[in-house]
Amino acid sequence: MSLDRTTVRNIAELARIEVRDDELDHLAGELSGILTFVEQLAEVNTDGIAPMASVADITLPMRQDVINDGGYAEAVLANAPDAVREDEGGFFTVPKVVE
Amino acid sequence: MTKLTNLTIADALTGLSKGDFSAVELTSAHLDAMAAKRSLNAYITETPELALEQAKESDARRAAGRAGALDGIPLGIKDLFATKDVLTTAASHILDGFKPQYESTVSQKLKDAGSVMLGKLNLDEFAMGSSNTTSYHGNVVNPWKSKSDPAKQLVPGGSSGGSGAAVAARIAMGATGTDTGGSIRQPAAFCGVTGIKPTYGRCSRWGIVAFASSLDQAGPMARTVKDCALMLNVMAGHDPKDSTSAPIAVPDFAAALTGDIRGLKVGIPKEYRPDGLSDEVNKVWEQGIEWLKAAGATPVEITLPHTKYALPTYYIVAPAEASSNLARYDGVRFGLRVKGDSLDDMYKKTRAAGFGAEVRRRIMIGTYVLSAGYYDAYYTKAQKVRRLIAEDFKKAFETVDVILTPTAPSAAFGIGDNTDDPVTMWLNDVFTIPTSLAGLPGLSLPAGLSADGLPMGLQLIGRPFDEETVFKVAGVMESAAGFTATPAGVAGNETNAGSARGGV
Amino acid sequence: MIIQGETCDWEIVIGLEVHAQVISNSKLFSGAPTEFGGAPNNQVSFVDAGFPGMLPVINEKCVEQAVRTGLGLKAKVNLTSVFARKNYFYADLPQGYQISQYDQPIIGEGTLLIDLDDGSTRPIGIERLHLEQDAGKSIHDQHPSKSFIDLNRSGVALMEIVSKPDMRSPEEAGAYLTKLRTILRYLGTCDGNMQEGSMRCDANVSVRPVGSTELRTRCEIKNVNSIRFVQQAIEYEARRHIDVYESGGDIKQETRLFDSVKGETRSMRSKEHAHDYRYFPDPDLLPLVISQELVDGIKATLPELPDEKKARFMSEYGLNSYDAGVMVAEKDSAEFFEIVAKGRDGKTAANWVMGDFFATMNSKPEYTWANPPVSAENLGRMIDLIKDGTISTRLAKDVFIFMVESGKDPATIVEEKGLKQVTDTGAIEAAIDAVFAANPDKVAEVKAGKDKLMGWFVGQVMKATQGKANPGMLNELIAKKFKE
């Protein structure tokens, strides 16, 4: 699979990574190379094979419905860039969103 | 007396318990060595005050007769493990200034066992790499030097390159690593140390910055098989906070080192002789087979027919998971934020500035293979092949008890080599990735030196949750290999010193 | 509902996606509390905030609640289901993905019977129900250039319940939501409070010419927070589609927002980008496998559901469909009614509950099912007093008011207030005689054939006995007196 500039731009958009126009060709080349490499899987016969999502040979464990976490807004906000401190409300902030 | 930094963990524990030296002395010796070896760039963050404080507490505990399993042992922690109030970066700019308010399960267990944290070890950014050259905090230098070109700086391997280099350079007695496709075993081989990636689910992933969740597994790196066993004894165990953690009891891995491997069948996969395999590595492998034969084990040729598809499978599965796992680095709750005109603009600028080239590349590949219209052709297909690879091993283990392979196709290469094409770089992991995809335990130990004086590793692969057999066989090989060589700057030598029975 | 257009008659095709907040103490994948209205970001664990290295562990209560709801919707329970990540970036989505279920939900197809105003019912298909995490909350009005993020709701368990596109009018959509809410409340799996957001509805709306079976492009109207608004939004949206088609345009598939002030829908700017959610199985979670025993165990604890209860109220208590429907709309009202009606005349009980009792209940906010104006037991005893002739229906109205005021049981009130009806023939006759004696002219008029005045006499005598005369006896005796 050879990716064109538009596709690379769309992938970058989906992944929310800014890519300059002058990087597109180089990236398209690299990503196309990788895709060509992984496409050799096409030659493997996988008829009737179930996809394997995990090697863990156990079923999903469940926890009981007890409250044993949370209650530490200060710690949750401690690393946040540009946060509203806890004594002033206690929020994360982002550039204003218009819905 | 041997320099304190040259002791094994097992010997240091004996020395501490006999009162030959204190934990503070042991820690101080390591802190001094770290300061002298900053040029290796093995640590991203050194925590000397914390280390000395922990060492003091350790001495007090030991005096009170309450010493833990690793009490007073100075360790390095890969900077992928969240450590409370200590900068945790994953070697990425995007975690700029991040001080977790929680401690990973594995590092907590090591703490609870009394060990001392010397600092946070360098790695490839988000553990994505095989040479430790993708770190935002600069590449790590392998303490080993090639005979032919002693001035040339070599890679320590990756992603746990800081861990491998620190253990080899005697600036940590042991270190934690994580392994997604070979990130413990390949740097262990390049740095001439021992490391084990346990069975997937053996160590909790809670608090370890995720790369590819279905593959990531923590493990120890140390200078001997026994030291690795002692560390894994502490690191392993079921954690209800990790849904993929195995509810299986942890045996005493050190007790498995009986030295008796008579009657064991050792699988030798015929597919592990690809074109790029160096003659020297191949020779060490042959040598390894002979050692095991001499100890009473029987080599058996096996076939793992889907081996060649492991790499392409991995490079779909791992980036796909990573593209999702790394979505949380968005500039909102922690780490770097680059201002933007809108929410999306902030995201894009932050993530462009915060992630390095290799990480961006893998996120984009992962995003693509999961996207509408391509999911089945890439992701579903890779998951199916993954099953075939796992079944290859399952079948092989019906007839053999353990599998012996080289760890990497070559010894350490120069910094800056193999960087033209990402795919070439990935070939370093050709022997380790199949094991990761199958979730099996894999251990690398140094088995010999190349003609150029560089360590080469062999890999032992075991059945799921049968690390004991892996350790047992590794112990026998370790004795047979007699690997006593040390890298430059250890034991006062300017270049590599000592020897190994294996190699050229 | 058929909408007449310029070119043809149109019908509306509606499918609803309801997000119902699961009743549980802690969140779907973390131990943080779910309670509504804590200090911002204080009901948040590092898991809910998507911190590096944090991992989800599923809450078994949420799984059980989903199964319970599935059984209540007569739906297929899938013993194996899979959690998948839905990947997208948004300010209040800390992980950068929502853990949801995609192609293998925990609950498959089911049915919900809607009750229409004419007393008829109609089945609406349920497509699926799956478990997923709620997102946090963005607050846009606190700062000129920033939105504030509160993650308290982040990670709370939701059941997304998806209907088939089986509804054809806003009324049916309303009936569906009402019924779904009733069932969830009966089951105790969601409190159904749309104002607080514990039940939210997205409506998928399209139109087509009557007689056509095609499904045209639909628009999704997001998060409408009352049943009335859902109905308004559907009606507006349907008319918008018809206008567009009839003026030769085409409908673009998009997400729209309902503006309840203007009563119209508009395109959502934040959803302009085409989405590619890149669903894939969450590698932090293994397939969810539940046992048939667990399902059977939950089945054994299911309460009687509204449809069954309604049928029983009709057969057992002789209620008509409408009254039975009103009684079962709330589990609490049904339970109340049943205590009142047990061993008594069902119709009388229904009349009292739906009449004086509901009127009083709705008169003051402090009255709730936990604190009703009159207990069901006392209302029942009061009906007994009517039946055995101790009080008349008319007197009962007074007794009811005294019960509301004092909380005392009806027998005590009758005793204390002397409200026992007079059944002593002699006493009633004496009262009649007195009224006759005082009004000879009116007696004469009646006797001359002015029957209408009979009622006046009844009233006078009743007044003279302070309302205590047994009405039946009184009527009989007055009639007898005139014939004398």
pLDDT of residue C369: 92
Contact C147/A96 with Cβ under 8 angstroms?
yes
B92, B367, B427, B437: best to mutate for the A interface, most A CBs within 10 A:
B367
Could you confirm whether domain C425-483 is CATH 3.40.50.300? no
List Cβ neighbours of C138 (8 Å cut-off, separation of 6 or more): A94, A97, C91, C92, C147, C148, C149
Which residue of C lies nearest to A82 if distances are taken between CA atoms?
Answer: C146
pLDDT tens digit string along B78-135?
999 999 999 999 999 999 999 999 999 999 999 999 999 999 999 999 999 999 999 9
pLDDT of C445: 85
Per-domain boundaries in chain C: 2-298, 306-417, 425-483
Q: Supply the DSSP symbol for C337.
A: H
Using a 10 angstrom Cβ sphere, with 0-12 exposed, 13-18 middle and 19 or more buried, the burial of residue B332 is buried
Q: Is the separation of the CB atoms in C324 and C314 below 8 Å?
A: yes
pLDDT tens digits, B324-335: 999 999 999 999
Q: Which residues of B touch C (CB under 8 A)?
A: 81-82, 88, 90, 95, 98, 100-102, 104, 205-210, 212-214, 240-244, 320-321, 323-324, 326-328, 330, 332-334, 343-344, 347, 367, 370-372, 375, 379
pLDDT value of position B329: 98
A50 touches chain C (CB under 8 A): no
Looking at beta carbons, which residues of chain A come within 8 Å of C103? none
Of B192, B202, B203, the C-alpha closest to B78 is B203
Question: DSSP string spanning B441-455?
Answer: -EEEEEEEE-TTS-E
Percentage of chain B beyond pLDDT 90 is: 92
CA distance linking residue B137 with residue B44, whole number of Å: 7
At C395, the pLDDT band (50, 70, 90 cuts) reads: confident
Residues 6+ apart with CB under 8 A from C56: B243, C28, C29, C30, C47, C99, C282, C284, C285
Q: Over range C186-201, report the average pLDDT.
A: 94
pLDDT digits (tens, 9 = 90+) for B17-65: 999 999 999 999 999 999 999 999 999 999 999 999 999 999 999 999 9
Report how far residue C19's alpha carbon sits from residue B500's, in angstroms, rounded to the nearest whole number. Answer: 66
pLDDT in tens, B353-376: 999 999 999 999 999 999 999 999
DSSP 8-state class, residue B326: G
Residue B237 binned pLDDT confidence (cut-offs 50, 70, 90):
very high
Average pLDDT of chain C is 93
CA distance readout (Å), B230 to B114, B198, C68: 13, 13, 48
What is residue B494's predicted lDDT score, i.e. its pLDDT? 57
Question: Distance between CA atoms of C347 and C341, rounded to whole angstroms?
Answer: 8
Q: Do A38 and B464 make contact, defined as CB atoms within 8 angstroms?
A: no
Residue C430 confidence (pLDDT): 85
Q: pLDDT tens across B171-221, in order? A: 999 999 999 999 999 999 999 999 999 999 999 999 999 999 999 999 999
The pLDDT of residue C424 is above 80: no
Residue B504: its pLDDT value, please? Answer: 53
Residues 6+ apart with CB under 8 A from C183: C69, C72, C73, C112, C305, C306
- Backbone φ/ψ region at C158: left (φ over 0), alpha (ψ -120 to 50), beta: beta
pTM over 0.95: no
Name the more confident of B348 and C484: B348
For residue B322, what are the CA distances in angstroms to A70, B210, B434, C282?
27, 8, 18, 12
Collapse the DSSP code of B319 into the 3-class scheme (helix H, G, I; strand E, B; otherwise coil) and give the result.
helix
Chain C residue whose CA is closest to A75: C46
Give residues 81 to 120 of B whose Cβ lies within 8 Å of A.
Answer: 97-101
Surface-to-core class of residue C220, CB atoms within 10 Å of its CB (0-12 exposed, 13-18 middle, 19+ buried): middle
**What sign results for the dihedral spanned by CA atoms B70, B74, B78, B82?**
positive
β-pairing, B116-121 vs B74-78, is parallel
Q: How do residues C221-241 score in pLDDT, each as one tens digit?
A: 998 889 999 999 999 999 999
Residue in B205, B330, B339, B379 to test binding to C, most C beta-carbons within 10 Å: B330
Give C259's strand partners. Answer: C264
Q: Give pairs for A68-71: CB < 8 Å, separation 24+.
A: A68/C26, A68/C31, A69/C26, A69/C30, A69/C31, A69/C32, A69/C45, A69/C47, A70/C30, A70/C31, A70/C32, A70/C33, A70/C42, A70/C43, A70/C44, A70/C45, A70/C48, A71/C32, A71/C33, A71/C42, A71/C43
Q: What is the pLDDT of residue C452?
A: 81
pLDDT score of A2: 85
pLDDT per position as a tens digit, C276-286: 999 999 999 99
Cβ C353 vs Cβ C379: under 8 Å: yes
Q: What residues of chain B lie within 8 A of the CB of A42, using their CB?
A: 377, 381
Tokens of B28: 């101080």
- For chain C, the chains sharing at least 3 beta-carbon pairs closer than 8 angstroms are A, B
Name the H helices within B64-139: 105-112
Over residues A17-40, mean pLDDT: 95
Q: What percent of chain B has pLDDT over 70?
A: 97
Domain boundaries, chain B: 4-307+385-492
Provide the pLDDT for residue C456.
Answer: 86
Inter-residue contact B322 to B368 (CB < 8 Å): no
Write the pLDDT tens digit of every residue in B459-491: 999 999 999 999 999 999 999 999 999 997 786
In which band, very low, low, confident or very high, does the pLDDT at B493 lie, cut at 50, 70 and 90?
low
Label residues B238-253 b or e (16+ Cβ within 10 Å = b). Answer: ebebbbbbbeeebbeb
| Confidence at residue A57, expressed as pLDDT on a 0 to 100 scale | 82
Mean pLDDT check: name the lowest of B107-116, B419-428, C63-72, C244-253: B419-428
Residues composing chain C: 484
Mean of the pLDDT values across residues B140-161?
96
Does B2 score more than 70 pLDDT? no
- C-alpha pair distances (Å), C280 with each of A62, B208, C98, C351, C472: 21, 22, 11, 56, 76
Backbone conformation region of residue C37, classed left if phi is above 0, alpha if psi is from -120 to 50, else beta: left
Q: Which residues of C touch B370 (CB under 8 A)?
A: 87, 278-280
pLDDT reported for residue C451 = 79
Task: Please tell me which of the candidates A60, A65, A84 has its beta carbon nearest to residue C287.
Answer: A60
Q: What is the pLDDT of residues C307-358, one digit of tens each?
A: 999 999 999 999 998 899 999 999 999 999 999 999 999 999 999 999 999 9
Is-contact C184 C65, C-beta < 8 A?
A: no
Give me B351's structure tokens. Answer: 């993530």
Query: What pLDDT is stored for residue B502 in this prediction?
Result: 65
* pLDDT given for residue B400 in this prediction: 98
Instruction: Please name the CATH architecture into which domain B4-307+385-492 falls.
Output: Alpha-Beta Complex (3.90)
Q: Indicate whether C450 pLDDT > 90.
A: no
Q: DSSP state, B471?
A: H
Task: Please state the rounded mean pLDDT for residues B302-322.
Answer: 97
Q: What does the DSSP assignment read for A6-55?
A: HHHHHHHHHTT----HHHHHHHHHHHHHHHHHHGGGGGS--TTPPP----
Instruction: State the virtual CA torsion across C290, C291, C292, C297 in degrees, nearest 10.
Output: -90
Size of interface B-C (CB pairs under 8 A): 98
Hey, what amino acid is at B90? A
Whole-number Cα distances in Å, A37 to B25, B214, B272, C131, C206: 52, 22, 19, 38, 45
Confidence of residue A58 (pLDDT cuts 50, 70, 90): confident
pLDDT of residue C476: 83
The 8-class DSSP code of residue C269 comes to G
Mean pLDDT estimate for chain B: 95
Tokens 């199958």, residue? B438
Residue in B334, B271, B279 with CA at minimum distance from that of residue B308: B271
Q: Please give the average per-residue pLDDT across B278-287, as a whole number.
A: 94
Residue A18 in tokens: 């800014």
How many angstroms separate the first and last alpha carbons of chain A?
37
| Cα–Cα distance, B140 to B160 (Å, whole number) | 10
Three-class secondary structure of residue B312 per DSSP: helix
- pLDDT, average across residues A41-67: 94
How many angstroms separate the Cα of B142 from the Cα of each of B6, B146, B162, B452?
A: 17, 10, 9, 14
Give the pLDDT confidence score for residue A88 in this predicted structure: 85
Per CB-CB distance under 8 Å, the chain B contacts of C86 are none
Phi-psi region of B141 (alpha: psi -120 to 50; beta: other; left: phi over 0): beta
Closest residue of chain C to A95, computed from CA coordinates: C146
H or E segment to which residue C366 belongs: none
- How far is Cα C112 from Cα B326, in angstroms, rounded to an integer? 41
Confidence of residue C92 (pLDDT cuts 50, 70, 90): very high
pLDDT tier, C174 (very low <50, low <70, confident <90, very high otherwise): very high
Tell me the two tokens of residue C459.
Answer: 């009233």
Token pair 């976490």: residue: A69
Q: How confident is the model at residue C171 (pLDDT cuts 50, 70, 90)?
A: very high
Mean pLDDT of C42-65: 98
Contact present, C42 and C192 (Cβ < 8 Å): no
